Amino acid sequence: MLIDGFGRRINYIRVSVTERCNFRCQYCMPEKPFFWVPKENLLTFEELFLFLKVGIDEGVDKIRITGGEPLLRADLDKFIRMINDYKDGIDIAITTNAYLLKGIANKLKDAGLKRLNISLDSLKPEIAQQIAQKDVLKNVLEGIEEALKVGLKVKINSVPLKGINSNEIIELLEYCKDKKMQIRFIEYMENIHANKNIKGLYGKEIVDEIRKKYHLKKIGREGNSPAFLYELEDGYRFGIIDPHKHDFCESCNRIRLTAEGNIIPCLYFDEAMSIAQAVKKGDVEAASEVLREVLKNKPEKNRWDENPPEKELSNRAFYQTGG
Ligand code: SAM
Ligand code: SF4
């Protein structure tokens, strides 16, 4: 079993399979980075899987594939199948912008994918384009329809930004409610890579907006999920992901693995340790030792709660860590 230095059980690995992306979201990767990790430095699926097996053997039962945009990586279904064939009952999910999903949702489900989190920030083509800096909405909505049609469970991630999509909170909520998908509104997490001019909404501001139209009941955090759930009178539940809140990290159960083999213990901080050499040599024992070292040093909490960390913005690039 994997336990970190603060007694938290780690049973969830988020694995980023590429840092590259076909969008340029204002809050994540507004400009193409000056430097991409060279393709030869990316771990193969076999190498990533070798590390995942170490985790699974120690009780990891939830794996999320993310990026950059994970659907850009060829043969993702084969990677999912490797994980699925290794052990029954692993909860395998993907976080995607869904731009490329339409043609492959069925193949991913057949390989063992259970769930998808899809990012959708606006239902207006021009606002979606303003945020992603590309005309994306039609493809994204078609991707969502396809995922639902093939029977995948879908949750929607949405980042409200002041003066851009903040007036669409109710519309996005109702779109998801109609389709029986949970929406999770994510507070914008300040970082040095994002467009300097954007400002997010705090969870409380998002909830206040929804309260103008609906009576809400507080439900609470569901297990180790970062989302705090609220319920409308008709039973529909939505979530708020509020890393600026002080209790956000108490139940953190996850670590992140990047496409080049760095294990990241906390989304906020720069610290990481590499398992690249270990998995390239097939040295399971060495990979396992690095993992234990990372867990020993996993920070107690992020610093987004320091309201806001103007002077010391997080260096972390969401497109590298996978959010
Ligand atoms: N490309 C995929 C996507 O957009 O869903 C997966 C990777 S993306 C980094 C994962 C999640 O991180 C997305 O839901 C995105 O909205 C969120 N995200 C990225 N940058 C963020 C930021 N600065 N603050 C809050 N959420 C962010
Ligand atoms: Fe790409 Fe996702 Fe980042 Fe947007 S949030 S730039 S889709 S990695």
pLDDT tens readout for residues 274-310: 999 999 999 999 999 999 998 888 877 777 766 555 5
CATH code of domain 12-197+254-321: 3.20.20.70
Question: Residue 246: what pLDDT?
Answer: 67
Ligand 1 pocket, Cβ-based, cut-off 6 angstroms: 21, 27-28, 66-67, 69, 95-97, 119, 157, 159, 186, 188-189, 191, 194, 318-319, 322-323
All structural domains of the chain with their residue ranges: 12-197+254-321
Pick from 25, 99, 129, 131 the residue to mutate for probing ligand 2's pocket: most ligand atoms within 8 Å of its CB. Answer: 25
H/E element, 262: strand 262-264
pLDDT per residue as tens digits for the range 186-244: 999 988 899 999 999 999 999 999 999 999 999 998 887 889 999 999 999 999 998 88
Task: For residue 65, name the pLDDT band (cuts at 50, 70, 90).
Answer: very high
User: Residue 261: which of 281, 234, 236, 240 has the closest Cα?
Assistant: 281
- Could you list the beta-strand ranges (E) of 109-209: 115-119, 153-158, 182-186
Question: Residue 158: what pLDDT?
Answer: 98
- The answer, yes or no, to whether any atom of ligand 2 lies below 6 A from the CB of 97, is yes
Q: What gap in Å lies between CA 102 and CA 140, rounded to an integer?
A: 8
pLDDT per residue as tens digits for the range 110-141: 999 999 999 999 999 999 999 999 999 999 99
Protein residue with its CA nearest to atom 8 in ligand 2? 68
Quick one: which atom of ligand 1 is closest to the CA of 117? 5
Question: Which ligand has the shortest distance to the CA of 121?
Answer: 1
- The answer, yes or no, to whether any atom of ligand 2 lies below 6 A from the CB of 203, is no
Q: Residue 323 pLDDT more than 90?
A: no
Question: Residue 307: what pLDDT?
Answer: 56
Q: CB of 71 within 8 A of CB of 21?
A: no
How many whole angstroms from 87 Cα to the centroid of ligand 2? 30
Task: For residue 8, name the pLDDT band (cuts at 50, 70, 90).
Answer: confident
Protein residue with its CA nearest to atom 11 in ligand 1? 323
Q: What is the residue-averaged pLDDT of the chain? A: 91
Sequence-distant (≥ 6) Cβ neighbours of residue 180 within 8 angstroms: none
Q: What gap in Å lies between CA 166 and CA 201, rounded to an integer?
A: 8
Beta bridge partners of 274: 262
Cα angle: 249, vertex 120, 72; to 5 degrees? 90
Taken as a whole, the chain contains a residue count of 323
- The answer, yes or no, to whether any atom of ligand 2 lies below 6 A from the CB of 200, is no
- The answer, yes or no, to whether any atom of ligand 2 lies below 6 A from the CB of 45, is no
Q: What gap in Å lies between CA 277 and CA 35, rounded to an integer?
A: 22
- Return the higher-pLDDT residue of 248 and 274: 274
Question: Residue 161: what pLDDT?
Answer: 98
- Could you list the beta-strand ranges (E) of 78-138: 91-96, 115-119
How many whole angstroms from 323 Cα to the centroid of ligand 1? 5
How many whole angstroms from 318 Cα to the centroid of ligand 1? 6
Question: Residue 6: what pLDDT?
Answer: 80
Cα angle: 131, vertex 254, 299; to 5 degrees? 95
Q: What gap in Å lies between CA 309 and CA 28, rounded to an integer?
A: 17
- Furthest C-alpha separation in the chain: 58
